[in-house]
Amino acid sequence: EFVPYPKGFVPPSFAQFDGTGNPRQHLAQYRALCCNISNNNALLLRLFVTSLSGFAFEWYTNLPNGSFKTFKELEEVFVKRFVGVQKKITIHDLMTLQQKPTEAVVDYILRWRTLALKCEPPLQENHAVNLLLGRLTGSISLLLKLSSIFTFEKLLSKAASLQGEASSLILKEEPYEKARKKLTPSSKKPVDTISLTDKQVKGSEETLQVTPSPQKKNPLTFQERLDRIYSFKKDAVPKLFQLLIKAGMQLPEPKKPKEVSKTDDPTFCPYHRCLGHTIENCITFKDWLER
C-alpha cells in the first residue's frame, strides 16, 4: 500500500464481479484496464478489491493479510475458487427463454443469440436459428417461420424489414382484447338447483346443487364466423396474404381448377383460387392466420 501510483494515473472504473460470472473473463478485463500498471504487482493487488462485489467481495476481504505475494498467485486462487460457480448455459435455458409481451422481435432475437453463444455444448448456427424460430411470438413470427432462414444475420435482417411493415397491420392489444371479451361467453358453469323434501324428518327440507355434465359447444354459425374479431385489421388481410406468399406459404389445392385464372373477378379469392368471396372475407384463411 506504500507503492505510489504512476504520475497522472487515474484508477479505472471496473466491471463488478459478484462471484457468479466468468472469473477468467473478469481477470482479462481487469488486466486490460490496468495496462499502465500491468507489471506492478503491488498496485494490481491493491486495486483488485475494487472490482469485486457481493459474495466475491466478502470472500476476498476475509482472506488473511499477506495471502498473496504476486498478482499471479491471486489469479490462480481466484479462478480455482469461482470457476465452478459460473452457471453453464444449456439448450434447456434457451428453450425456456421467452419473448416478453412488449419486447420487439429484433430485441428478443439479439437477447436469445447472446445467450446461445454461451451454450454448452456449442450449437451449430442453423440448429440455433431453428430453435429460436420455434420460440418467436407476435405478428411477424409466422412470416419468419415460413421463410428459409439458416443464419442469425439473415434472421435479423428479415425481422427488421418486416417489423415496421407488419406492425401497421395489427390491431392494438387493448381494443382487440375488449372486443374479444365482449363476444366471448361467460365461462361460468350453470348450476341446477333441485329441492328435495325429507319425508322421514317432518318439516325438514334440503337443497341440492347439481352441476350438469359439460355439453358439447355448438358450432358457430356462418354469421358468427363472419363477425369474429381477429387480432389484425380486415383491410390488412390482403397485405398479410402477400407477405406470406413472399415468405413461401403453400396454398391449398384448388377445388375448382377452371376458376384459377379468373384473378380479375372481384369475387376471386387468391387463397382458395376460386370465385365466391374476397380474401378480406376468407374465413378459412383468417382463422388459419389467427392460429
Burial class (CB in 10 A: 0-12, 13-18, 19+), 62: exposed
Pair (107, 59) in one structural domain: no
The domain boundary residue, chosen from 68, 87, 106 = 87
Pair (83, 107) in one structural domain: no
Structure confidence by residue, pLDDT tens digits, 213-243: 555 667 778 777 777 888 777 888 898 888 8
Highest mean pLDDT among 21-25, 205-209, 265-269: 265-269
The domain boundary residue, chosen from 117, 135, 167 = 167
Q: With a threshold of 0.75, does the pTM exceed it?
A: no
Cα–Cα distance for residue pair 28/30, rounded to 1 Å? 5
For residue 270, the model assigns a pLDDT of 95
Q: Note down the domain range covering 65.
A: 1-87
Predicted confidence (pLDDT) at residue 277 exceeds the cutoff of 90: yes
Q: Is residue 250 part of a domain?
A: yes
Cβ-contact 183, 191 below 8 angstroms: no
Task: Categorize the per-residue pLDDT at 158 as very low, low, confident or very high, splitting at 50, 70 and 90.
Answer: confident
- Residue among 175, 19, 158, 177 nearest 84 (CA): 19
Task: Categorize the per-residue pLDDT at 120 as very low, low, confident or very high, splitting at 50, 70 and 90.
Answer: confident
Q: Is residue 210 part of a domain?
A: no
Structure confidence by residue, pLDDT tens digits, 125-149: 999 999 999 888 766 787 788 778 9
For residue 200, the model assigns a pLDDT of 45
Q: How much of the chain, in percent, has pLDDT values that exceed 70?
A: 79
Pair (82, 10) in one structural domain: yes
The domain boundary residue, chosen from 87, 121, 138 = 87
Predicted confidence (pLDDT) at residue 46 exceeds the cutoff of 60: yes
More confident residue, 121 or 29: 29
Predicted confidence (pLDDT) at residue 89 exceeds the cutoff of 60: yes
For residue 169, the model assigns a pLDDT of 58
